[in-house]
Structure 1
Amino acid sequence: MIRELELVVLTQDVPEHGLKAGDLGTVVLIHEAGTGYEVEFATLSGETLAVLTLPADSLRPAATREIAHVREVA
């Protein structure tokens, strides 16, 4: 189960917020025993891009053997 303050990976694009599958976010709240999550997506400088409520199937935990990839947001 994903926990609060855990890094998660978006598994699908959210174009209305400029987010793409693979973007990293931080869980800030867990809804109904993990059926959904409030996730903050931010730039590397700390600017919040979006705080979204997302269903569990649109996220996965970030793995310890993964490397982050950088892209510029629009």
Structure 2
Amino acid sequence: MELYDVVEVHEARPSEQLSAGAVGSVVDVFDGPPPMFEVEFADAGGRTIAMVTLRADQMVQGDGHL
């Protein structure tokens, strides 16, 4: 994963109000081990819902569409 990649979370994260498959954008990359990624999730109006730090195994690269 790289900066600004579109990703989807594998599992729901109720504490962050995210369902499985929620789509976000990588906004920061932290060197590991393991590498970690700060992902921003936003609503349809562009307002941030959550900023979550994830490992690569907790998400999959999306199709590029938010």
TM-score interval, smaller chain: 0.7 to 0.9
Query: When the two structures are aligned, how many residues end up with a matched partner?
Result: 65
Give distance in 2, aligned partners of 1:16 and 1:36.
Answer: 19
Deviating more after overlay: 31-40 vs 10-19: 31-40
Q: Which residue is 1:71 aligned to? A: none
**Which stretches of structure 1, 4 residues or longer, exceed 6 Å deviation after superposition?**
none
Could you say which structure has the greater relative contact order, defined with CA pairs below 8 angstroms and 6 or more residues apart? 2
- Is 1:15 aligned to residue 14 of structure 2? yes
TM-score scaled to structure 1, two decimals? 0.77
Matched to 1:62, the amino acid is G
- Matching of residues 1-74 of structure 1 within 5 Å: 2-32=1-31, 35-63=35-63
TM-score scaled to structure 2, two decimals? 0.86
Give distance in 1, aligned partners of 2:39 and 2:60.
Answer: 12
Larger proportion of strand: 2
Unpaired segments ≥5 residues, structure 1: 69-74
CA shift digits 1:12-63 (9 cap, x unpaired) = 1111011011010000011116721000000011010011111111111013
Give distance in 1, aligned partners of 2:25 and 2:10.
Answer: 14
Unpaired segments ≥5 residues, structure 2: none
State the percentage of identical aligned residues.
31
Q: In angstroms, what is the RMSD of aligned CA positions?
A: 1.9
